[in-house]
Chains A and B, each alone.
Chain A
Amino acid sequence: MPSICFYFQVHQPFRVKKYRIFDIGLDHNYFNQLGENNLNNLQVLKKVATKSYLPTNHLLLELLKKYPDFKISFSISGVLLEQFSKFLPEVVESFQALAATKKVEFLAETYYHSLSFLYSQAEFISQVELHQKQIKKIFNQRPKVFRNTELIYNNDLAKLIESLGYIGILTEGVDRILGWQSPNFLYHPKNLKKIKLLLKNYKLSDDIAFRFSSKDWMEYPLTAPKYASWISSINGSGEIVNLFMDYETFGEHQWVDTGIFEFLKALPGEILKNPDNNFVTPTQALKKYPARGELDIPEFISWADIERDLSAWVSNSMQEDGLKKLYELEGKIKQTKDQNLLDDWRKLQTSDHFYYMCTKWFNDGDVHKYFNPYESPYDAFICFMNVLNDLKLRLEEKHA
């Protein structure tokens, strides 16, 4: 003890292009922005693949081969796998090479990286099933553990996910929920006995994901031996350390010149120097450790921003309006049985569209601004609503 559970979120949305009112009724391609900008999905994909996904996959493959006890897990969104399969199949292949080591677990999520659990249970279940099929097809694994978009979670989610046959859920180790309890143990959701929760140790995770290259940080520079010593110090006071982070941490959020790859390269060896430490995948963790308590989480939590709630996606009237008008269409869209309409409607559900509309820029704003490919949250909203109105027109034509 402790076991270290690495989990990486890998996701890129189909960003809505610059779409003006004049385009409504004429242009039904919503995601094909061209030119040198961050709305050009193919360009973003190529950039992130080159800077982050490919070199990190390459390094991890090396590490998995070098250390028999090293294990990792991924959740790759359906929309990203779809984009890769279509435009950059070599990236899919490099993830398949990782899967072939049999030491990499792939988790379940909604195909469209959506907020559907908040708005439509039926739609949510469909998207989880779609993703499951895709993972089976590409990696020949059937996911046993679920993680919702951006680790959004509450009691109701646990209940539904258990009923779908999953054995565990990943979510954030939120202080206001845990109180005196530690994220370094497994827990049962309120009143559920089969399914267990893996909680992100946000301090240790964010030391890598956010603080690694921060020169204002007391612990700068972070070295693998130092970090391994922090992990080892948990011995006796915890069973599992869940290090959950965006995969783009490596090479994209922390650039290559910060030394992030050298750090990652040295880390498994340093951690394994202490014979009490070991690596697990989420499923192995769930089999290895019992739940040490029960957590009652009636309100939604997530891993986003300092609030760790839904406010990154649903905290202003534009976000509420956009989401409401989008999900209102569900019945009519499904009636048409038109695959293109259904797919476009679903691609518009990806949580990133609503994240881009977030206006709480004054406290946690920098992160939002950094990740926003639009000039402002208002521009994001305008493009989204114009597209939605075009989709409505198409829908009306089908029903006419």
Chain B
Amino acid sequence: MTKVLMFGWEFPPFNSGGLGVACYGLSKALSQKNFQITFVLPKKVPIESNFIKIIFADSTNLDIKFMSGYITADDHKQKKALGFDGDLFSQVYKYGLLAREIAKSTEFDLIHAHDWLTFQAGIEAKRVSKKPLIVHVHATEFDRTGGKNINPRVYEIEKIGLESADKIIAVSNFTKKIITEQYEISPDKIKVIHNGVEKVEHIENKSELDLSKLKQNGAKIVLFVGRITLQKGVDYFLKAAQKVLQFYPKVYFIIAGSGDMEGQIIQQTASLGISDKVFFVGFLRGEMLAKIYQAADLFIMPSVSEPFGISTLESLAYGTPVLISKQSGVSEILSHALKTDFWDVDEMVNKILAVLNFNSLKSCLASNGQKQAMQFTWNKAANECIELYKEVLLNSYA
């Protein structure tokens, strides 16, 4: 049995985004294929898993407090006061020190590290164990910042991680291109493994979040799910919403998520005069999220730069059609989706209105899209991952 030492930063239900979802889906599928996964998280959270062994780095001898890798609006204020940058980087560094200890006391054949926050840990583990390292890129600094104001320290950690790795997994060709062009990594070293989605069950609508009332008078729902950040293009969503409402007044726009732009976006909603049509429901998970996916008539992902976009597959799994930005990884595998450039608000409006106006379009997109999305399983991703493991292990013995 191959043993994998995996470094992550978050894990459901303690996740702020797709990174945790991907780590969960992939490690679960790998464990079902008889791979023994030891999953390391930086800080202790009350989770247990029956398929992988979870180690909390801060439960070893050093006492360090870790923070979420992404910044929420509240965090943002707090961290500005505390000098956040220093904090996060020192944590990344400390995670590396702890990884060294964990690597010494754990048995494994290879190391698999998810995103820049864990790269240092992966490198340290490799240094003490001499075992091969795979780094998995779910997002780069270029995605998170929209290509503007790249943090040079983050970039450096990413670049060192990519260079130190024996192999790299990119979640899309879109991301592979960024890695080769912006980080000057040879394309031969990078394997693209697209994310997957789990089978979902239709949720009966009975508890608190009852959207059926909203839809009673024939009103429609357009949904955004994601962190409220520059990267996710929420501002384009709002501009589109305002224009859609001029043509189609009976529609509500729901924003599910939180993030550093939240205050700004709420203000923008007010100044556009559409506060009564846009609902901020905060970060949702589980049944609440499922219900909102189901209730929506259209899901929109207007990301400025999206390495993959798991939420797109989730929406389709629940039978809700999607409109996605062409600047996304998921766009390269989905043909049964509406697509626009993130900046092309008019085209977005044109397409949103078409879905609202023509049920035949909606149902075609939903049924074909659902079929297509369900072909992307974590099982498939795990198989591709295993192929790479074998290749890396073969090379390390040679």
Binds A, one of B158-166, B218-226, B332-340: B332-340
Q: Chain B, 333-357, contact with A by CB distance < 8 Å: what is the 0/1 string?
A: 0011011000000110111011001
Contact between chains at A317 and B335 (CB < 8 Å) = no
Given A21-B247, A359-B336, A359-B368: A378 and B350 within 8 A (CB)?
Answer: no
- Say if the beta carbon of A191 comes within 8 Å of chain B: no
- Say if the beta carbon of A381 comes within 8 Å of chain B: yes
Indicate which residue in B339, B346, B360 contacts A320 across the interface (CB closer than 8 Å).
B360
20 contacts between A and B (CB under 8 A): A20-B347, A20-B350, A21-B349, A22-B346, A316-B364, A318-B358, A318-B364, A321-B358, A359-B368, A376-B335, A377-B364, A378-B365, A381-B354, A381-B358, A381-B360, A381-B361, A381-B364, A382-B351, A385-B354, A385-B361
Residues of B contacting A22 in the complex (Cβ-Cβ under 8 angstroms): 346, 350
A302-317 at interface with B (beta carbon < 8 Å)? 316-317
- Say if the beta carbon of A375 comes within 8 Å of chain B: yes
Contact between chains at B353 and A321 (CB < 8 Å) = no
Contact between chains at A376 and B339 (CB < 8 Å) = yes
- Say if the beta carbon of B363 comes within 8 Å of chain A: yes
Alpha-carbon gap, A378 to B355, bound state (A): 10
Contact between chains at A317 and B347 (CB < 8 Å) = no
Contact between chains at A385 and B338 (CB < 8 Å) = no
- Say if the beta carbon of A361 comes within 8 Å of chain B: yes
Alpha-carbon gap, A22 to B350, bound state (A): 8
Residues of A contacting B339 in the complex (Cβ-Cβ under 8 angstroms): 375-376
B179-237 at interface with A (beta carbon < 8 Å)? none
Alpha-carbon gap, A375 to B340, bound state (A): 10
Contact between chains at B364 and A21 (CB < 8 Å) = no
Residues of A contacting B338 in the complex (Cβ-Cβ under 8 angstroms): 376, 378-379
Alpha-carbon gap, A385 to B359, bound state (A): 12
Contact between chains at B364 and A378 (CB < 8 Å) = yes
Alpha-carbon gap, A386 to B354, bound state (A): 8
User: Considering only CB atoms, which chain B residue lies closest to A24 in the complex?
Assistant: B247
Alpha-carbon gap, A318 to B338, bound state (A): 14
* A12 CB to nearest chain B CB (Å): 26
* B16 CB to nearest chain A CB (Å): 32
Residues of B contacting A21 in the complex (Cβ-Cβ under 8 angstroms): 247, 349-350, 353-354
Q: How many residues of A contact B (CB 8 A)?
A: 20
Contact between chains at A20 and B361 (CB < 8 Å) = no
Listed in ascending order, the chain B residues whose CB lies under 8 Å from chain A are: 247, 335-336, 338-339, 346-347, 349-351, 353-354, 357-361, 363-365, 368
User: Considering only CB atoms, which chain A residue lies closest to B375 in the complex?
Assistant: A362
Q: Which of A21, A318, A378 has the most CB of B within 10 A?
A: A378
User: Considering only CB atoms, which chain A residue lies closest to B349 in the complex?
Assistant: A21
Given A20-B350, A22-B346, A359-B368: A382 and B361 within 8 A (CB)?
Answer: yes
User: Considering only CB atoms, which chain A residue lies closest to B353 in the complex?
Assistant: A21
Alpha-carbon gap, A320 to B338, bound state (A): 20
Contact between chains at A20 and B346 (CB < 8 Å) = yes
* A348 CB to nearest chain B CB (Å): 16
Indicate which residue in A20, A321, A376 contacts B360 across the interface (CB closer than 8 Å).
A321
Contact between chains at A385 and B364 (CB < 8 Å) = no
Residues of B contacting A361 in the complex (Cβ-Cβ under 8 angstroms): 335
Residues of A contacting B360 in the complex (Cβ-Cβ under 8 angstroms): 316-318, 320-322, 381
* B131 CB to nearest chain A CB (Å): 42
User: Considering only CB atoms, which chain A residue lies closest to B363 in the complex?
Assistant: A317
User: Considering only CB atoms, which chain B residue lies closest to A321 in the complex?
Assistant: B360
Across the A-B interface, give the 5 residue pairs with the lowest CB-CB distance, nearest first. Answer: A321-B360, A317-B360, A20-B350, A382-B354, A318-B360
Q: Chain A, 364-397, contact with B by CB distance < 8 Å: what is the 0/1 string?
A: 0000000000011111011001100000000000
Residues of B contacting A316 in the complex (Cβ-Cβ under 8 angstroms): 360, 364
* A142 CB to nearest chain B CB (Å): 41
Q: Supply 9 further A-B pairs (C-beta < 8 A) apart from A21-B349, A381-B358, A381-B361.
A: A21-B354, A22-B346, A22-B350, A318-B364, A321-B360, A359-B368, A378-B364, A381-B364, A385-B358
Q: Chain A, 12-31, contact with B by CB distance < 8 Å: what is the 0/1 string?
A: 00000000111000000000
Given A21-B353, A375-B339, A378-B338: A317 and B364 within 8 A (CB)?
Answer: yes
Alpha-carbon gap, A377 to B354, bound state (A): 13
Given A21-B353, A361-B335: A378 and B346 within 8 A (CB)?
Answer: no
Alpha-carbon gap, A322 to B350, bound state (A): 17
Alpha-carbon gap, A378 to B353, bound state (A): 13
Alpha-carbon gap, A359 to B363, bound state (A): 12
User: Considering only CB atoms, which chain A residue lies closest to B372 in the complex?
Assistant: A362
User: Considering only CB atoms, which chain A residue lies closest to B338 in the complex?
Assistant: A378
* A197 CB to nearest chain B CB (Å): 35
Alpha-carbon gap, A191 to B365, bound state (A): 44
